[in-house]
Amino acid sequence: MCTKNKPVFANILTVSFVLGLLFAGCVPSRQPTAIVVSPTIVSTETLIVPTHSKTPTFTPTPIALPELTLSKGDFYFRVDGVQSVIFSRNIAGYEPSQYTLLLYLTKTGGSKLVRIQLPSLGTGITKSGDIDETWAKNWEAVFDDAAARGINVIPVFSVWADWNNGSPDYGFSAWESNSFNSANGGPATTPAELFQPDSPTQKLWYRWLKALVQRWQKRADIAAWEIFSEVNIATGTNESIGVAFIEQAASIIREADSRQRPITASLADVGEWPAFYGSDAIDFINIHPYPSSGQLDIKLIEDVRKMMVKYNKPVMIGESGLNAAPPDSQMGKLTIAERANVGLKHAVWAGTVSGAMNGRSFWWEDGYGIYFPTLSWNFLKKYDDIELPTSNFMQGVEVTDFKPLTAQYQGKVFGAALGNEKMVIGWFRDADCEPPDWPLQPVISKQNITITVPGSAQNWKVDFYNTTTGTDIVNSATTVRQGTTITITLPDFTDDIAFKMYVQ
């Protein structure tokens, strides 16, 4: 069993208040509604921390901010010049102070990147299309905090819910509070006007976008730009309209950004727009897998590899979860299932060996659980370091030229391998450990994995790792290439096991 005892929270100053909040989810089947939240507010003098740790100050001791870059032809971010699989999160709050706590939890797990949907703190645009100065300064304080903790950011300029008029297919809309809405004094009678070429709404939005990029272009902590989250479920879009909108926005960003950071935009997992992903406006693909079955690890491996082959572009897990529906709904109960942590742990490892640029990148567990009073900080703290063993495992692993490898195995295990002609990493789990209960066999024994490995190196060493630490080697073996394949025998294990295979 993969659970760990989590320490209780300490040093919390609580103030209860009632806030009418519209939860802006980003996957259509979440179907969020207006809810009343009584959140826990943490004092500016303390953070939520484990009882065995010292209470950190609100302002962290600055550490070196890693430089995250994406070079043309690479399939992974370079961290200070070295291609690496990184770990990322989606953090969200309705007050700037909450991001301090979320960034603290992010650092705890070893993640180096956060994806932030800018509308979380408001539209950010005045009725005239200018930058809301208070809004911008709030975000700049969050960015500064992230940089001080060695964490890079991807700002998401807009999301589907702000530009959806309440379609019954998706069950939610923030259009009523959008400053562009004519009911609020803005120019648009419908959110579809954002996507109409040369409409007053579109011109103002593009002007705002350009101004923000110009304002933030010198910030070293911004790793990439995301134009729009899940544009395919915004009102008034189709493939050709969505592609035209994104391409014009990308052109504006490239003109305004002297650092020429990579650009992305995302689609909801309700259909694929080939011209969208194939457009030169998209430097890396941004997927949002939410399997209704809860088999997130399987979907990650399948989707990432399919996208890499089809579009020959890097693939980022933008956001993900065991289910897209709200955790307090019948459909979303997998998210809060007793052993959901097992499925999430498997998803972290699966993402790491899938070929994706990143791992983790959950939705509810990274930050959006804060919007649910029955979950809030306790729920987020439960998953504060779930990626840490995998992050430990990947320390020092340079993934230049790493590609997904074909692996053959028997029915008792499931997993994947990734590598090149000099090194292979892999992860395999108990094949019967599936949702909704994620049961485990006492031991998995005598399982062979045959991997098609590039190159011609004959002799290889395999080190097998404990997945609860990512650092402890539990067994080692040697093996020899047979033609194009290498077969390894997994040692006995429970739950899952990871390995690194090197040329001798």
The β-bridge relationship of strands 86-90 and 82-83 is unpaired
Amino acid at 175: W
Q: Give the residue carrying structure tokens 């969050």.
A: 142
- Residue 286 in contact with residue 265, Cβ under 8 Å? yes
Instruction: Give yes or no for residue 14 having a pLDDT over 50.
Output: no
Is the omega angle on the peptide bond into residue 262 within 30 degrees of 0, that is, cis? Answer: no
Q: What is the pLDDT of residue 487?
A: 98
Q: What is the pLDDT of residue 171?
A: 60
Q: Give the residue carrying structure tokens 């020899």.
A: 480
- Burial code of 128-139, b = ≥16 C-beta within 10 A, e = fewer? ebebbeebbebb
pLDDT tens for each residue of 232-274: 999 999 999 999 999 999 999 999 999 999 999 999 999 899 9
Beta strands in 149-262 (DSSP E): 152-159, 225-229
Q: What percent of the chain has pLDDT over 90?
A: 79
Instruction: Give yes or no for residue 56 having a pLDDT over 90.
Output: no
Phi, psi of 461, deg, nearest 5:
-110, 140
Residue 135's alpha-carbon distances to 130, 143, 177, 259, in angstroms, are 11, 13, 15, 24
Q: What is the pLDDT of residue 129?
A: 83
Confidence of residue 328 (pLDDT cuts 50, 70, 90): confident
Instruction: Give yes or no for residue 119 having a pLDDT over 60.
Output: yes
Which of 209, 173, 207, 170 is CA-nearest to residue 190? 173
- Residue 429 in contact with residue 413, Cβ under 8 Å? yes
59 vs 379: which has the higher pLDDT: 379
pLDDT tens for each residue of 491-504: 999 999 999 999 99
Average pLDDT score, the chain: 88
Confidence of residue 47 (pLDDT cuts 50, 70, 90): very low
Q: Report how far residue 454's alpha carbon sits from residue 183's, in angstroms, rounded to the nearest whole number.
A: 61
13 vs 454: which has the higher pLDDT: 454
Instruction: Give yes or no for residue 21 having a pLDDT over 60.
Output: no
Q: What is the pLDDT of residue 29?
A: 33
pLDDT tens for each residue of 402-442: 999 999 998 899 999 999 999 999 999 999 999 999 999 99
Work out the average pLDDT over 136-164. Answer: 96
- Residue 212 in contact with residue 128, Cβ under 8 Å? no
Number of C-beta neighbours around residue 205 at 10 A: 24
Work out the average pLDDT over 444-456. Answer: 97
55 vs 299: which has the higher pLDDT: 299
The β-bridge relationship of strands 82-83 and 78-79 is antiparallel
Instruction: Give yes or no for residue 196 having a pLDDT over 80.
Output: yes
Q: What is the pLDDT of residue 64?
A: 87
Q: Report how far residue 353's alpha carbon sits from residue 406's, in angstroms, rounded to the nearest whole number.
A: 12
pLDDT tens for each residue of 347-357: 999 999 999 99
Q: What is the pLDDT of residue 127?
A: 76
Domains along the chain?
9-394 (3.20.20.80), 403-503 (2.60.40.1180)
Tell me, yes or no, if the pTM score tops 0.85.
yes
